Amino acid sequence: MINKLNKMILCIVLLIISITVNIYLDSYIVFNRAIRTDQEQHFYDIKRWYESGKIPVTSTRFTNSRTIDDEFVTGRVPGGAYYIFYKLASENLIGAKIINLLFSLSIFFIFLFWFYKKYGLFITSIIGSLILMNPYFIISLTDLWNPNLALIFSFLLFIFLYEYIDSKNENIVRFSVVIIFPIIALISQLHFFTFFSVVPTIIIYLLIRFKRTKQYLTFWVIGVFLSFLQYVPYLMYELQSGFLNMKNIIKTIYDDSNGGMDVNLISIYGERKETYCDISKNLFSEYAWNCNNNGTNLYILIDFIKLNNSDDPAYPKYINYLASNSKLIYTNEYILVYKFQHSNDELLSPENFI
């Protein structure tokens, strides 16, 4: 009896510590984490939607693109659910992140309570602690980013799929059947990969277990209808615009003619040009760079660490030359990136300044 009590106390303490540490980290990170290219582009698109005074009917772009130049030619994920938190926060990004954090934690605690009812305190304390202390889960809670919300909603999807497959209570099974596809439809508005992966997987499962599927067919139809209702505003938009977004989606997927600028990336004070090219395509995805030695857009990348350790006498003069003829577009503790401003002129090399 004492051992059982000690075990229960240990499980409760483990959960309390995990929840406390998670909330402490969340409350710090949500205000201090960096805004990356994706988030910057999403914020721009969200702001543009609400400035237009229209209800958002599309959300994030199908691929990285130039934030402003490709705004109207890049296909977008159908459905505007991703933008709701921004509106609820009175169009304030930090407020939207806080609402996202509270909403995501609420869903997870619902999942945790359901898990406790199914498997008891011991298993729940282990699983709950592993998830609460997982770095990726903490990242998902503290950043308003569409894949993160898709992950959070998957906890709800897991609950209802499990109940449909395992529950002996007919009312719970029927409710689960009705709610599964609306949740999938909502997740699909957050990330398009859901539509191409989860939806076919569920359909294949329902076909394999067709005898059981047929038993609840009416409720599946109701669920699909509720899912369809979520996309009515988007479908109306497509009809009015001549299916503009669908055309942009097809172009985004199959047409690489608008794949971005051909850039001649010149590496100075560093010999790893191909590595730098790969890094730059991630750092500057909004520019949609294609590294090409014959490109007329000249970008100069300098290895900051190697440069600082160099005793090259040409260094100060060359930096002054770049400052006069180029624009510094990016810097961190590792690299400097300049854009050469005079496309018709020849870019001088450091050797010219010795």
DSSP 59: E
Residue in 117, 136, 138, 145 with CA at minimum distance from that of residue 37: 145
Could you tell me what percent of the chain has a pLDDT over 90? Answer: 41
Calpha distance 347→121 (Å, rounded): 68
Q: In the predicted model, what is the mean pLDDT of residues 223-236?
A: 94
Q: In the predicted model, what is the mean pLDDT of residues 79-96?
A: 85
Global pTM value: 0.70
What's the mean per-residue pLDDT of the chain?
A: 83
Could you tell me what percent of the chain has a pLDDT over 70? Answer: 79
Query: What is the structure's pLDDT at 286?
Result: 46
Q: In the predicted model, what is the mean pLDDT of residues 42-51?
A: 83
- In the β-sheet with 290-291, what is the strand arrangement from edge to edge? 290-291, 262-268, 297-303, 335-340, 326-331
Query: What is the structure's pLDDT at 121?
Result: 94
Helix axes 146-166, 135-142, angle to 10 degrees: 110
> Is the pLDDT score of 16 beyond 60?
yes
Q: How many helices (H) and strands (E) does the chain have?
A: 15, 7
What letter represents residue 24's amino acid?
Y
Does an H or E element contain 303, and which? Answer: strand 297-303
What letter represents residue 193's amino acid?
F
Pairing between β-strand 335-340 and β-strand 326-331 as defined by DSSP bridges: antiparallel
Query: What is the structure's pLDDT at 43?
Result: 82
Query: What is the structure's pLDDT at 175?
Result: 97
pLDDT (tens digit per residue) in 100-152? 999 999 999 999 999 999 999 999 999 999 999 999 999 999 988 888 999 99
